[in-house]
Amino acid sequence: MSDLPSVSRWEVIKNRKRILQNPLPFHSENFERFGDSFRVKIGAPSGVIFTRDPLIIKHILQKNHKNYQKSKLQTEDLAKYIGKGLLTSNGEHWRVHRRMIQPAFHKKKLEGLLSIMNKAIESELEQIKPGHEIDVYRLMSDLAFQVVAQSLFSRADIRKRMVRLQEITESNQRMLIREMRQPYLNWWFRLSGKIEGHLKMAREGREILNGIIEERISSGLQKDDLLDMLLEARYEDGTPMPRQQLLDEVLILFTAGHETTANALSFSLFNIASNGEVQKKLHKEMAAVDLNSVAIPDLFKQLPYTKCCIEESLRLYPPAYVIDREAKDEDSIGGLELRKGSLVLMSVYELHRHTDFWSDAERFRPERFQEKLPKDYAQYYYPFGAGPRMCIGNNFAMYEMIITLYRILSRYRISTPLAEIEINPLISLKPKTVPIGFERI
């Protein structure tokens, strides 16, 4: 590891303002300067390794995944705000709860959620006014949040509480990003009470969710939604999840489930609005399909080009743009020697744009996923991660995105005044604003 080219601590401090705003250009400059892997001398004594090398990424996420765990960035820093759920836990705790929750996201179970998802999407899209331009990022954020809320709770009378929960999760995320990108100021964040203020907000969010769960249990109703599935999940000894663990899992479903989908939909709409030929193909495909009569297992078959557009947007703008892992023991990967405790940050964003693996890497070209299947790109395409820790809600997200694009593009032509979209990398990769105009077909 000591042979890796290194970025000094001074270079990080010198670039601290631009790193705080958007670290991706700094990453890209150093990948161009040093190649597919380099070390940044921050954090641990041995620094942090950044890589876009597909062999290293595959080895860590799949081939030798047992030797790697999520780092303290997630298991401690993020967990203090959203709890110890699937996203923020390691080891046996993660394995036990993954086994319990996985059945809730099986395709057969998702079929039962389709009508709930569809109604929530339709309701949110009523905000669109033909002839007007709106920031669809805010619309998609509200839409995705309500889809998760309705899929979990099957209730239309909790919007006010859900709006407050959304405010809390977004505010706490902004605070966490400051902690991660300005670790030299953490003493001040603690001393000034900023961290405690956000922890108080996190407790308020948990109280909101706990109140809704209590109302469900007291009602005695069976809704066959995600909350019912989580309440019915059992450990091997037959006991249910403790309330605190249930809250952790529900909060993480909100945080991860709504945000990544909102981001992906926003980027997809921008890409489609910027490409007239792509939009024509989508309109033609959607005109031949009545979504109300399509069975959920056939959704991808009926709208294959729509799916390609989503996959291409996920390539250019992967929500999980960096994946972190920490080595539990020493390891060797293609000549790279890793010490125990080494922190590796794998840049999915850079890998997805690597010119060695993608032709016209910076161009939005959905046809590449018609020419080859996603599995043919498996060595260097990780929109939902890979290995045992692959995103549990990937099918849920894909169904939601296809339905949303169909509901919009079967009714409207869309346009945007933006030539390029400005990105905002926080916990996930967000756009700043996505102004889109709508015209009735």
Going from N- to C-terminal start, the domains of the chain cover 6-440
Q: How confident is the model at residue 41, as a pLDDT?
A: 85
| Full-model pTM | 0.92
Taking residue 132's Cβ as centre, other Cβ atoms within 10 Å add up to 10
Report the candidate in 340, 327, 336, 331 with the shortest Cα–Cα distance to residue 3. 336
Q: What is the mean pLDDT of residues 206-233?
A: 90
Report how far apart, in Å, the C-alpha atoms of 416 and of each of 263, 264, 285, 312 are: 17, 17, 22, 19
Q: pLDDT for 308-335, tens place per residue?
A: 999 999 999 999 999 999 999 999 998 8
Render 203-260 in DSSP notation, one character per residue: HHHHHHHHHHHHHHHHHT----SHHHHHHH-B-TTSPBPPHHHHHHHHHHHHHHHHHH
Q: How confident is the model at residue 46, as a pLDDT?
A: 73
pLDDT interval class at 81 (50, 70, 90): very high
Report the candidate in 67, 145, 66, 117 with the shortest Cα–Cα distance to residue 388. 66
Cα separation, 109 vs 226, in Å, equals 9
What CATH number was assigned to the domain covering residues 6-440? 1.10.630.10
pLDDT interval class at 364 (50, 70, 90): very high
Q: What is the mean pLDDT of residues 56-65?
A: 96
Q: How confident is the model at residue 375, as a pLDDT?
A: 79
Q: How confident is the model at residue 9, as a pLDDT?
A: 84
pLDDT interval class at 43 (50, 70, 90): low
Q: Assess contact for 350 and 30: CB atoms under 8 A.
A: no
Q: pLDDT for 167-188, tens place per residue?
A: 998 899 889 988 887 888 888 9
The three-class DSSP label of residue 122 is helix
Calculate the average pLDDT of the chain: 91
b/e burial code for range 24-33 (CB count within 10 A of at least 16 → b): bebbeebbee
The two structure tokens encoding residue 268:
């997809």
Cα separation, 72 vs 325, in Å, equals 9
Q: pLDDT for 401-425, tens place per residue?
A: 999 999 999 999 999 999 999 999 9
Taking residue 283's Cβ as centre, other Cβ atoms within 10 Å add up to 15
Q: Is 181 exposed, middle or buried (CB count within 10 Å of its CB: 0-12, 13-18, 19+)?
A: middle
Q: pLDDT for 119-154, tens place per residue?
A: 899 999 999 999 999 999 999 999 998 898 888 888
Q: How confident is the model at residue 2, as a pLDDT?
A: 58
Q: How confident is the model at residue 76, as a pLDDT?
A: 92
> Is 1's pLDDT higher than 60?
no
Cα separation, 23 vs 146, in Å, equals 30
Q: What is the mean pLDDT of residues 351-358?
A: 96
Higher pLDDT, 45 or 344: 344
> Is 296's pLDDT higher than 80?
no
Query: Would you say how long the chain is, in residues?
Result: 441
Q: What is the mean pLDDT of residues 17-39?
A: 92
The three-class DSSP label of residue 25 is helix
> Is 44's pLDDT higher than 70?
no
Residues 6+ apart with CB under 8 A from 423: 22, 24, 317, 429, 430, 431, 432
Q: What is the mean pLDDT of residues 333-357?
A: 94
**How much is the CA Rg of the chain, to the nearest whole Å?**
22
Cα separation, 164 vs 92, in Å, equals 33
